[in-house]
Amino acid sequence: MKFKEIDVSEKLLEGIESFNYSTLTEIQEKAIPIILESDDLLACSQTGSGKTAAFLIPLIEKIGKLNNKGIKALIITPTREICKQIEEQVIGLGYYTDTSCFAVYGGNDQDGFSRQKQALSQGADIVVATPGRLISHLAMGYVDIKNLNFLVLDEADEMLDMGFYDDIINIIDKLPKKRQTLMFSATMPISIRNLANKILIEPKILDLNFSKPAEEIEQQVYMVWDSDKPAMLSTVLKNFKDQKVLVFAATKMNVGKISAFLRSAGIKNSAINSSFTQQERNDTILDFKSGKINVLVTTNLLSRGIDIDDVNLIVNYDIPDKAEDYVHRIGRTARAGKLGLAISFIGEKEIINFNRIEKLLEKAIPISENPVIIPKGPEYRQISKAKKKFYKKKSSNNTRNHKRSNNK
Ligand code: AMP
């Protein structure tokens, strides 16, 4: 979804454009409508997922429609670094809407404290604060929070880990009861759920944390030189005649090449990528769903969201750069408890990508032996330092089977 499609002011869109954001991240697509609808929210989302803009964009939009005085939104964060980052994002996103923001954190001199005091008593649209320093100001009674509309707890699990529970409760006790409260956390331990129960009212819950692939998906991996991948694919597909197969490639160009190769090898297939019109995509997906075509070649475009029943086989012709994409891709099979198979071809340059996938899965996947007509591929190995560390930790649990196993 593009930012142009969301229901916010032109001025805010200009601010968003100044960051060169065009497409919403998953958390943004899910959280922004909830916040605009004025619901409380508990969102579980990793740092780096775009969660800051996910709450700032709707907050800035809503604040633009208010005309009360004083502080309208309070964002509490665990560290001064996060405080500063959020302040910078408010300044950028809210530049054309004239949204004022002030960051309140410890570790500065008396002058800094006085400036904070002045800002807190005069009021800014948004105040971003670390708990300890905010408590010091609140205790002195000049913080203008009587009209506060929004409270955000960012990195809530981190704040609890740092021992800020009492401070948070202490702050919340001083805020108006009628407000919209948003909690963002990278994890959802029981302590976070308890805090959410205490401070949120009928919240919407978003849990975007990574989930492991379903047990029903059998994963097979082959080491294949790039030049042997076409022959490997047609060999595999011969065993899956009349079954639904999704083939994932890294680029649009590869999609075209694979599709053409398969056609020349007599394997009927269709291809789609992001250059196709929506109509073309819909028609092709419909043909695949109805069984008119059994082999569909695509990019990550189809790795998420679409629900096609009965995909028997996923082929990762190319290994995705992002480990999460592997999980999304193979999740297209074994839906609704059915069994499914995912076969991946690892080329020489993709070994590092597969290292990352195994790290994410927290397990090593045995390498299968290539069919007899396909030459032995590159040797699988661990490449990054991080990977070495991971294997050290895991070696007591998992024994990597680099020996060729049966090739079913
Ligand atoms: P966060 O998870 O809020 O720390 O954001 C991680 C990074 O993603 C930051 O550098 C943001 O500027 C960036 N970011 C946030 N939303 C988007 C988006 N929709 N498109 C591209 N980058 C984004």
Helix (H) or strand (E) holding 10: helix 10-18
**63 and 187 housed in the same domain:** yes
**Predicted pLDDT of residue 309:** 66
Question: Where would I find the H helices in 123-251?
Answer: 131-139, 156-161, 165-173, 190-199, 229-238
Range of the domain at 352: 217-407
| Dihedrals phi, psi of 169, to nearest 5 degrees | -65, -40
**Predicted pLDDT of residue 137:** 95
Crossing angle of helices 229-238 and 252-264, rounded to 10°: 60
Tell me, what CATH number does 116's domain have? 3.40.50.300
**Predicted pLDDT of residue 377:** 97
**Tens digit of pLDDT for each residue in 125-150?**
999 999 999 999 999 999 999 999 99
Give the CA radius of gyration of the chain: 26
**Predicted pLDDT of residue 259:** 97
**138 and 180 housed in the same domain:** yes
| Boundary of a domain, candidates 208, 231, 259 | 208
**224 and 99 housed in the same domain:** no
**86 and 55 housed in the same domain:** yes
**103 and 47 housed in the same domain:** yes
CB 290: neighbour CB atoms within 10 A?
8
Residue of minimum CA distance from atom 11 in ligand 1 = 50
Residue of minimum CA distance from atom 14 in ligand 1 = 50
Tokens of 81: 């670094």
Helix (H) or strand (E) holding 51: helix 51-63
Count of structural domains, the chain: 2
Residue of minimum CA distance from atom 15 in ligand 1 = 50
**187 and 222 housed in the same domain:** no
Task: Give residue 378 CA to ligand 1 midpoint distance, Å.
Answer: 37
pTM of the model: 0.61
Task: Please indicate whether residue 21, judged by its CB atom, sits closer than 6 Å to ligand 1.
Answer: yes
The closest-lying atom of ligand 1 relative to the alpha carbon of residue 89 is 12
Task: Please indicate whether residue 48, judged by its CB atom, sits closer than 6 Å to ligand 1.
Answer: yes
Task: Please indicate whether residue 47, judged by its CB atom, sits closer than 6 Å to ligand 1.
Answer: yes
Whether the CB-CB separation of 380 and 402 falls below 8 Å is answered with yes
Which residue, 220, 256, 243, 224, is CA-closest to 330?
220
| CA dihedral sign of residues 10, 12, 15, 21 | negative
Tokens of 212: 């492991």
| Boundary of a domain, candidates 208, 230, 260 | 208
Task: Please indicate whether residue 53, judged by its CB atom, sits closer than 6 Å to ligand 1.
Answer: yes
**204 and 221 housed in the same domain:** no
**256 and 237 housed in the same domain:** yes
Task: Give residue 155 CA to ligand 1 midpoint distance, Å.
Answer: 15
Task: Give residue 53 CA to ligand 1 midpoint distance, Å.
Answer: 7
Round to whole Å and give the CA distance between 361 and 378: 22
Question: Where would I find the H helices in 209-277?
Answer: 229-238, 252-264
**Predicted pLDDT of residue 149:** 97
Whether the CB-CB separation of 192 and 159 falls below 8 Å is answered with no
**276 and 374 housed in the same domain:** yes
| Boundary of a domain, candidates 190, 208, 226 | 208
Task: Please indicate whether residue 52, judged by its CB atom, sits closer than 6 Å to ligand 1.
Answer: yes
Round to whole Å and give the CA distance between 87 and 101: 6
Task: Give residue 329 CA to ligand 1 midpoint distance, Å.
Answer: 23
| DSSP assignment string, 332-368 | TSSGGG--EEEEEEE-GGGHHHHHHHHHHHTS--PBB
**341 and 272 housed in the same domain:** yes
**150 and 283 housed in the same domain:** no
**Predicted pLDDT of residue 336:** 61
Q: Which residues of the chain have pLDDT under 50?
A: 386, 388, 391-392, 394-408
Task: Please indicate whether residue 77, judged by its CB atom, sits closer than 6 Å to ligand 1.
Answer: no
The closest-lying atom of ligand 1 relative to the alpha carbon of residue 48 is 2
**203 and 239 housed in the same domain:** no
Residue of minimum CA distance from atom 5 in ligand 1 = 50
**Tens digit of pLDDT for each residue in 26-67?**
899 999 999 999 999 999 887 677 899 999 999 999 999 998
Task: Give residue 1 CA to ligand 1 midpoint distance, Å.
Answer: 15
The closest-lying atom of ligand 1 relative to the alpha carbon of residue 46 is 2
- Out of 1, 52, 57, 85, give the residue to mutate to test ligand 1, the one with the largest number of ligand atoms within 8 Å of its CB: 52
CA distances from 6 to 2, 12, 58, 86 (A): 7, 11, 10, 21
